[in-house]
Structure 1
Amino acid sequence: MSNARAPRRAFLALALSLFLFALAMSLLALPSTIQAQTVPEKPVVAHVAFDEKADLQWITDHGYDVWAVEQKERYAVVALSPAEWRTLAAAGYTLSIDEAHTARMQRSGPDAFYGGYLNAEELYAFLDETVTTHPTITQLVDYGDSWEKVTPGGNAGYDLQVLRITNRAISGTVPAPGLAYRPDITITKPLFFLMSNIHSREITTPEMGRRFIALLTEGYGSDPDVTWLVDNHEIWIVLTANPDGYKIVENSGNGLLYHRKNTNITNGIGCTFPSSSSNHYGVDLNRNASFRWGGTGSSDKPCDATYHGPSAASEPEEQALESLMSGLFNDQRGPLTDDMAPLDTSGLMISLHSYSDLVLWPWGWTDRRNANFAQLAQLGSKFSSYNGYTAQQSIALYPTTGTTDDWAYGTLGIASYTFEIGPGDWADPCSDFFPPYECQDMFWELNGPALLYAAKSARAPYQLPSGPDTLSVTVSAPFVMSGSSMVITAQISDTSNGNQPVAEARYWLDTPEWNAGTAIPMSATDGTFDSPTEQVQATLNTSGLQLGRHTSFIQGRDTSGHWGPVTAAFLEVSETNETLLLPLLRH
């Protein structure tokens, strides 16, 4: 009998050995992750698995510091203290520690921060220098004070500053309410509002704002698209909406880097100091907005990362931000949740965050689509065509309430977005809130064109993105003699705007449509408008034109009747043909 069982025992032993070997290999296949339910001794970055949306919502509703969500793999990336780990494990969640990124979270702050990022004082100095260098197209506006500045007995705090970029010598036709504290400023042009760093640890975002400022100011007068934008639109940029919190990140050591909120300690008695990612004082300014404040996706516990504050817009930073935008934009939407903003609504806002490679639009508080969902999705998809990010309604990431973009759309009706900059793939070295500074070049390459398109679309963001793009605008010669002819050419493409055939193209010389200019038709170079991409041209006789620089504004329309944004080109009319004369002079 025992001899008969021996082969069976040997077989079972072999099977068990193979099973254990396979299990070990499966764990080795996940080198950056330890599968465990053992409570860690220190704060960690964890993957928290979820099955249903309700499981994810429970996490966000209880104030956990959610960094990213992988919907396909069904897990959230969450910073957890040992106590929070125990709570989630007891609630039935499966957790795993990511060793590599836990180590990244605990690294030294200054080593990560000073690789090229500007500190708070340098950001403010950059703004001052920009105004000094470009006084006719820039203006620095103090729109309020940070919590530290209005609270005696602590740090000095900061003025809240926004940079206005526009040619003030050129006025528009549609006045905004204006700023009570700056009666000298009159807003009459379409406006694009860009804000960064409402979450202090997201240090990529001020760098994107800084580069956009440099693009606009340094390109003015030489880049035709930048020039017409600065002449005919208003662009307002907040580099840091949370300077007190940014200062904490700048000065941080181990464990302090991941401070997300402002520095209001009034309701933070008992919160840890130095701060950890999952336990720190302050109010989450992106849960403190007065629209849909205090609901799902925010916390009423002062030490939680998503603490929404004691009341709606309780924080001076949020009060100042809402007051600023209410003065810059007309209220263009009705008071009811399902009211639709008119299709000709003007104005656009983008709040820069990191990370996860996402373009988000309202709502974040509900699965319901807002009344302008189709228009917001169209523009979001257009942004995605530039940066390659996933475009989706905010709640598809996770539920939120009291956010800036929900407030801007819900209160004012303007097209409002959040960009989550930086890859969500943890294996990518440019992931996380503190990527190496060299990652900024890649981030800018992706997002610079998207921000420029946003500025171009601000005149009618619910209409223009449905129309074709005007690309590759050229003139036959940059300089022409007065009285001679020149050819303006362009490519009109609807391939990323609905893929409708192009039906028409036109241009204006010097005076665009919104200033009652006269449109001049352009023809398809192949003789017929019948394709989603068309090469177009027009011949311009310069007789009667003043000597000097002129600007052509080119625009296309698809067969659905949608006109796209304009693209500009410069041409120079002179007494002599400088195209021929300059080479002779050089010779």
Structure 2
Amino acid sequence: MYPLRRRTVTALSVTTLLFVLPVTQSATADPVTAGEAEPDSARAVYRVPETDPASRTAVNRTGALVLSVDEGTAFVTATPEQAERLRSRGMTLHRVADGPTQSQSAPARPAEFPPEDSGYHTYSETLAEIEEAATDHPGIVDSTSAGSSARGRDIPVVKISDRADVDEAEPEVLFTCNQHAREHLTAEMCLHILRRYTDGYGSNPGITEAVDNREIWIIPMVNPDGATYDVAGADYRGWRRNRQSTPVDLNRNWGYRWGCCGGSSGDPSQPTYRGPAPFSAPEIASVRDFVESRVVGGRQRITAHIDFHSFSELVLWPYGYTTADTAPGMTREQYRRFAELGNAMADTNGYTPMQSSDLYVTDGSVNDWMWAEHGILSFTFEMYPSGGGLDGFYPPDEVIQRETSRNDEAVAMLLDEAGN
């Protein structure tokens, strides 16, 4: 586990659901089992220079995990055996001191962030933010539940539109956050979008136009069990997956090209474990069902999507399962649209744009499924910082406002593109 710190970073349509399903906090107990650990938490962190997409994919296929990439230098977590395997393949590994210092603050209570990071929202605080937005803006905000997590927590879904109680035939845009438990800055990103497109309505012309002409959907915590578990107690746990009895990497559990191409692991001990079958994770099955509920009259109403992750400061688009620019379901023209929009959004936030597989090959990912199965223009944003080791998952709360507002123009650009 990762001690407290001030750490230093080293480098049924939905209309049927609305107003019916309350979002509750009920959940089964999630005690810490003695000796239980996410694989990353027992691994060393290494800096690996001069990597490319093929070598980074090879790293992940050994069971090691690429944490971030900055100008070709990858930060990797690996067991001693995996590190030796990589060295035997000619890679240079430099072990880095990723151990944060012990905080002098009072220990946090279970399910709370450390005191110095109290600006982050816990699951219960996230629900309270949603409730407050619905109370303050009753005409344009409503909420429901996409379904339940493995431990029984509701997965909240928020709708923002000028007539939130009506299922209008308008282009819809979906924002999802916190698929990976330790990526808490992403949940703040979704809450920032919620606040921006409600508090700014009626006073900001661009926001008002978007809310009047779009239906905006936000899922702030796809993985509420994992996010809660990661901060429960005095330490960060570095937890990535969900909290099933055999935890699953949610962003390897989507059904399109699941387990096809060496971009996930079939080994339950590995951090990219894809699960025993597509959509075996209840969280992913719930989000799938929500997305499919937006097929109205045979047409998918959601036209654009961003899934927020951290970290590396990247804008990524499909496909992840293949290094080819075009593949079944992706024409040259469609690829060009992804690339042009991805580059344009990256111009606004300073991220690096690329096809997902240019980072490394993944299979069973949300972007590939959204596009291949529903034709949704789906991107991943890897947020701040640009590089580093395990500390990169835990930036101080002082950066929340800066790093979430950094994506304002990109979000507005996607909302505009959704109508085309």
Q: Same fold (TM over 0.5)?
A: yes
Match of 1:188 in 2: 169
1:119 aligns with one of 116, 119, 122: 122
1:95 aligns with one of 81, 93, 99: 93
Contact conserved, 1:355 with 1:431, CA < 8 A, in 2? no
Q: 1:307 to 1:185 in 2, by over 3 A?
A: farther
Residue 145 of structure 1 and its aligned partner are, at CA, apart by: 0.5
Match of 2:6 in 1: none
Q: 1:215 to 1:53 in 2, by over 3 A?
A: closer
Q: 1:240 to 1:51 in 2, by over 3 A?
A: closer
Contact conserved, 1:113 with 1:434, CA < 8 A, in 2? no
Match of 1:136 in 2: 139
Contact conserved, 2:160 with 2:215, CA < 8 A, in 1? yes
SS at match of 1:367: coil
Match of 2:213 in 1: 232
Residue 58 of structure 1 and its aligned partner are, at CA, apart by: 2.1
Q: 1:314 to 1:373 in 2, by over 3 A?
A: same
Contact conserved, 1:63 with 1:298, CA < 8 A, in 2? no
Residue 417 of structure 1 and its aligned partner are, at CA, apart by: 0.2
Q: Distance in 2 between matches of 1:106 and 1:214?
A: 34
Counterpart residue identity of residue 440, structure 1: I
Match of 1:164 in 2: 159
1:123-175 Cα offsets, whole Å, 9 max, x none, are: 111111111111111110111100111xxxxxxxx111110001227xxxxxx
Match of 2:78 in 1: 80
Contact conserved, 2:173 with 2:305, CA < 8 A, in 1? yes
Match of 2:58 in 1: 58
Matches within 5 A, 1:277-296: 282-295=247-260, 296=262
SS at match of 2:311: coil
The count of residues paired between Structure 1 and Structure 2 equals: 367
1:205-255 Cα offsets, whole Å, 9 max, x none, are: 01111111111111111112211211111000010000000001121544x
Contact conserved, 1:424 with 1:431, CA < 8 A, in 2? no
Match of 1:300 in 2: 266
Residue 385 of structure 1 and its aligned partner are, at CA, apart by: 1.8
Percentage identity across aligned positions?
Answer: 32
1:311 equivalent in alignment to 2:277? yes
Q: Distance in 2 between matches of 1:329 and 1:435?
A: 38
Instruction: Return 5+ residue gaps in structure 1 as ranges.
Output: 1-31, 34-40, 150-157, 170-183, 268-281, 334-344, 461-587
CA RMSD of aligned residues (A): 2.7
Counterpart residue identity of residue 222, structure 1: S
Counterpart residue identity of residue 403, structure 2: F
Residue 49 of structure 1 and its aligned partner are, at CA, apart by: 4.7
1:325 aligns with one of 284, 291, 303: 291
1:350 aligns with one of 295, 303, 306: 306
Q: Distance in 1 between matches of 2:399 and 2:51?
A: 34
Contact conserved, 1:48 with 1:96, CA < 8 A, in 2? yes
Matches within 5 A, 1:217-296: 217-254=198-235, 256-265=236-245, 267=246, 282-295=247-260, 296=262
SS at match of 2:315: strand
Q: Distance in 1 between matches of 2:336 and 2:272?
A: 30
Contact conserved, 2:56 with 2:359, CA < 8 A, in 1? no
Q: Distance in 1 between matches of 2:188 and 2:158?
A: 14
Counterpart residue identity of residue 456, structure 1: D
Contact conserved, 1:376 with 1:415, CA < 8 A, in 2? yes
Higher strand share: 1
1:280-317 Cα offsets, whole Å, 9 max, x none, are: xx100000000010132200111111000001111111
Q: Distance in 2 between matches of 1:145 and 1:434?
A: 26
Residue 60 of structure 1 and its aligned partner are, at CA, apart by: 1.6
| TM-score scaled by length of structure 2 | 0.81
Q: Distance in 2 between matches of 1:106 and 1:409?
A: 44
Q: Distance in 1 between matches of 2:131 and 2:218?
A: 13
Residue 257 of structure 1 and its aligned partner are, at CA, apart by: 2.5
1:455 equivalent in alignment to 2:410? no
Q: 1:105 to 1:456 in 2, by over 3 A?
A: farther
Contact conserved, 1:50 with 1:56, CA < 8 A, in 2? no
Counterpart residue identity of residue 249, structure 2: D
1:335-373 Cα offsets, whole Å, 9 max, x none, are: xxxxxxxxxx97100000011111000011111113111
Residue 329 of structure 1 and its aligned partner are, at CA, apart by: 4.8
1:26-61 Cα offsets, whole Å, 9 max, x none, are: xxxxxx79xxxxxxx963211235666443222222
Contact conserved, 1:425 with 1:431, CA < 8 A, in 2? no
Residue 332 of structure 1 and its aligned partner are, at CA, apart by: 6.8
Q: Distance in 2 between matches of 1:81 and 1:130?
A: 45
Contact conserved, 1:189 with 1:234, CA < 8 A, in 2? yes
Match of 1:359 in 2: 315
Contact conserved, 2:141 with 2:159, CA < 8 A, in 1? yes
1:380-406 Cα offsets, whole Å, 9 max, x none, are: 111012101111101111110111111
Residue 441 of structure 1 and its aligned partner are, at CA, apart by: 2.5
SS at match of 1:60: helix
Q: 1:112 to 1:353 in 2, by over 3 A?
A: farther
Q: 1:392 to 1:105 in 2, by over 3 A?
A: farther
| TM-score scaled by length of structure 1 | 0.58
Contact conserved, 1:332 with 1:413, CA < 8 A, in 2? no
SS at match of 1:237: strand
